[in-house]
Amino acid sequence: MNKKKKMQLAVDLFLALLLIAVDQTTKYFAVTALMNQKPRVIWDGVFELHYLENRGAAFGMLQDQKVFFVLIALIILAVILYVLVKVPYQKMYTKLHITLVFIASGAIGNLIDRIRYDYVVDFLYFSLIDFPIFNVADIYVTLSSIFLVILLLFVYKETDLEFLSFRTKKFRDIK
């Protein structure tokens, strides 16, 4: 691994630590200011801060499946780490790096909660559309996953992602 690639991974790590710190800080404030309190209305009829201990996944699915969620998060993080290490050091992959770091940071933020509390702290609620209560890590994962799909469908060509292939050139030429 060359020096530029190591620097890129160091930047990825720094960004991840920063994003995780922001997520954990907002959750800390949610716990200290919102737990056992009435929801705080920020914009009447639209948005409020509402403390919730989420023991499931999105929309409350799969309640009390901590081991499952921890395993899935570890698998996702391993795949992301693999991709980040394999991505060539080229400017065209910067968006991919940032997107994957956001997904990993959100996964780690919620993983910390699951391991620490056995639930994820959620506190952001759009009452206007009665959207499920969520947190900053959920924002990272959701928006960056959407962006990842856009990158894979409209930005990168299949040949741009060949570095992810487990097959070597020798095996591709055999076909």
Give per-residue pLDDT as tens, 83-105: 999 998 899 999 999 999 999 99
Provide CB contacts within 8 A for 126, sequence distance 6+.
46, 47
**Run means of pLDDT, 10 residues per run, the chain, 175 residues:** 92 98 98 96 96 78 73 94 93 95 97 93 94 95 97 92 69 51
Q: Which of 12, 23, 113, 138 is catalytic?
A: 138
Q: Which of 12, 113, 122, 173 is catalytic?
A: 122
- pLDDT at residue 62 in the model: 63
pTM: 0.88
CA angle 65, 84, 78 (to 5 degrees): 25
Instruction: Look up 23 and say whether it is catalytic.
Output: no
Give per-residue pLDDT as tens, 4-24: 999 999 999 999 999 999 999
